[in-house]
Amino acid sequence: MENEIREKMNRAGQEHVFRFWSDLKENDRDVLLKQLEQVDGDQLAGFQNRIKTGDDAEHYTPGTLEPVEVIPLPDDERGSSDYQEASQAGEALLSEGRVGIILVAGGQGTRLGYDGPKGFFPVGPVTDRTLFEIHLEKILALEKRYGCTLPLYIMTSESNHRTTVEGFKRFAAKPSSITFFQQGMLPTLDRHGKLILEEKGRLSRAPDGHGGLLTAMKRNRVLENMMSRDLQVIFYFQVDNVLTKICDPIFLGLHHLRGAEMSAKTVYKRDAGEKLGSIGRIGGRVVTIEYTELSDEEKEMRRDGRLKFGQGSIAIHAFSVSFLHRLIAGNNELPFHIAFKKIAAIDELGEPVRPETPNGYKFEQFIFDAFPHARSVMVMETRREQDFSPIKNKSGPDSPERARQDLCNIYGLWLERCGYTVNRDEAEDVIERIEISSLYAMDDKELCDRLPQDFVLTNPTLLA
């Protein structure tokens, strides 16, 4: 096998990966050979050409994007007949056991200063419940409400798979049906298109992005599992959004009633520079353009006083299982996006290098690039304060501190709707620390029904 792989690397101009071969022990040699065996030669050549030509976006030409039709926020969701019909349709799907869930959880908490999978990051305002625990409680509450099983498919990565699976064993409460599967890894390349060595006997590799979902589902036979359960719709979200309304019946119902193959929730961007992809149309097809690929001029464009491309993607989707089947069976490969990043490496002497500026390229696929393959798409605007609070940064916007505050705000709103007075500051943020487990109440209506008559709001308040 060694000779074949050496020949393969020589043909690709990558013979440098064996530079430290004589320094390696047998186990390290085996690891390197296995990694090199997994390198796709044609794919590598395509990546090298992208670097050479400076092509950082495969599918977008500035000026071609047009706004997409969006189901707008109603003044009163409960008073909207369309939303009532959609809610009933979504609830029927849940009750009949036609819904499954994909949770994308391949990231580490490194940027947050947390050593471990991001899903285990503590975020509960009172209890420090983790992201995983908050999401799992929502799923358990849904199963109880609708008398169903919600199969949960969790996509991890090479860097956190084992830790994630082991960590779930400690949870006392979790859904009965959980399937873990790993996304793929792709090699990183330097500015000359050479494979980067992270160690003398190990390639630098990075997860292939949430768009690697399709390949991972095929490799791990996840779709077959879904079809054996007779699932019809898959709800998709990412682990770092603590406010996700998992399997929102209105969203599922609209997806179903509109005959959509792929659907998305959006929020209106808080400003033109917010780092959210923009959903729109190109040549009649729905697309999402990454914020890095939209020109500054297009980001600032307005129509009727609002941002022309203000519908920001928040990585909440619904897929019809039949659509996923068509994509996977037809080998519809999503485009790769390229990013110039700081990548840990070794130098020509084998010494570690921690670059202060970008030194190499990572390649990723994004699941929203499946939109153009869908025959019918539904896009629904949602309320940021009820559905979107991601944890991306260590401090400031989209941080753990902000997520905890957003949780307190939504729980405080529920209590206000139940007739209680909640203290707020000048920014309208709830002052009290409040935490309500989904196992206690999933929404304000259920909370009002459950609260005892002698309930008194304290600081902190925990209802679990």
Give per-residue burial for 373-396: e unless 16+ CB within 10 Å, then b.
ebeebbbbbbebebbbbbbbeeee
What span, in angstroms and rounded, lies between the C-alpha atoms of 370 and 332?
Answer: 9
Give residue-wise pLDDT tens across range 37-47. Answer: 999 999 999 99
Phi/psi-derived region of residue 78, left when phi > 0, alpha when psi is between -120 and 50, beta in every other case:
alpha
Q: Do 248 and 264 sit in the same domain of this protein?
A: yes
pLDDT at 251 over 70: yes
Q: Per-residue confidence at 70, pLDDT binned at 50, 70, 90?
A: very high
303 and 265 share one domain = yes
462 part of a folded domain: yes
Kindly state whether residue 328 falls inside one of the protein's structural domains. Answer: yes
Please check whether residues 153 and 213 belong to one and the same domain.
yes
Mean pLDDT to the nearest integer, 231-245 = 98
Does a structural domain hold residue 81? yes
Res 54: pLDDT: 75
Question: How many residues are given for the chain?
Answer: 464
Claim to verify: residue 373 and residue 408 sit in the same structural domain: no
Assigned domain for 127 exists: yes
Question: Which residue, of 392, 425, 446, is where some domain finishes?
Answer: 392
* 431/456 same-domain check: yes
Mean pLDDT of 377-394: 96
Q: Say how far apart CA 419 and CA 448 lie, in whole Å.
A: 9
State whether 384 and 416 are in the same domain: no
Q: How far apart are CA 76 and CA 80, in angstroms?
A: 6
- For residues 370 and 419, state if they share a domain: no
Give the C-alpha separation, 236 to 376, whole Å.
17
**Encoded amino acid at 352, one letter:** P
Confidence of residue 81 (pLDDT cuts 50, 70, 90): confident
Residues 280 and 425 in one domain: no
What is the predicted pLDDT for the residue at 401?
A: 97
| Region of residue 11 (phi > 0: left; psi between -120 and 50: alpha; otherwise: beta) | alpha
Domain termination site, one of 373, 392, 411 = 392
Q: What confidence tier does 78 reach under pLDDT thresholds 50, 70, 90?
A: low
pLDDT at residue number 79: 66
CA-wise closest residue to 105 among 78, 127, 136, 66: 136
Q: Say if residue 77's pLDDT is above 70.
A: no
Find the angle CA(131)-CA(86)-CA(147) to the nearest 5 degrees: 55
Q: Are 112 and 400 in contact (CB under 8 A)?
A: yes
Tokens of 337: 């996006």
- Per-residue pLDDT of 262-300, as tens digits, reads 999 999 999 999 999 999 999 889 999 988 888 889 999
pLDDT confidence bin for 376, thresholds 50/70/90: very high
Residues 446 and 356 in one domain: no
Residue at 1 is within a domain:
no
Spell out where 148-284 has E strands.
152-156, 178-182, 185-187, 189-190, 197-199, 202-203, 205-207, 233-238, 262-268, 278-282
Cα 248 from Cα 411, distance rounded (Å): 17
| Residue that is last in its domain, among 392, 419, 441 | 392
pLDDT by residue (tens digit) across 440-463? 999 999 999 999 999 999 999 999
Residues 11-23 have a mean pLDDT of: 95
To which H or E segment does residue 257 belong? helix 249-257
pLDDT at 56: 60
Same domain, 270 and 288: yes
233 pLDDT above the threshold of 90: yes
Write the burial class of residue 58 (CB in 10 Å: 0-12 exposed, 13-18 middle, 19+ buried).
Answer: middle
31 and 202 Cβ atoms separated by less than 8 Å: yes
Distance of alpha carbon 20 from alpha carbon 349, whole angstroms: 9
Q: How confident is the model at residue 69 (pLDDT cuts 50, 70, 90)?
A: very high
Q: Confirm whether 348 is domain-assigned.
A: yes
What's the CATH code of the domain at 236? 3.90.550.10
Which is nearest to 464 in space by CA: 456, 448, 447?
447
In a domain, 59, yes or no: yes
CB 127 within 8 A of CB 143: no
Tell me the percentage of the chain whose pLDDT exceeds 70: 98
Domain enclosing residue 410, as ranges: 399-464
In this model, does residue 433 exceed pLDDT 90?
A: yes
| 146/114 same-domain check | yes
Q: What is the mean pLDDT of residues 166-173?
A: 92
Is position 3 within any domain?
no
Angle at 134 between CA 451 and CA 219, to 5 degrees: 145
Query: Based on the structure, what is the number of domains in the chain?
Result: 2
Q: Domain check: are 361 and 418 in the same one?
A: no
pLDDT score at 333: 83
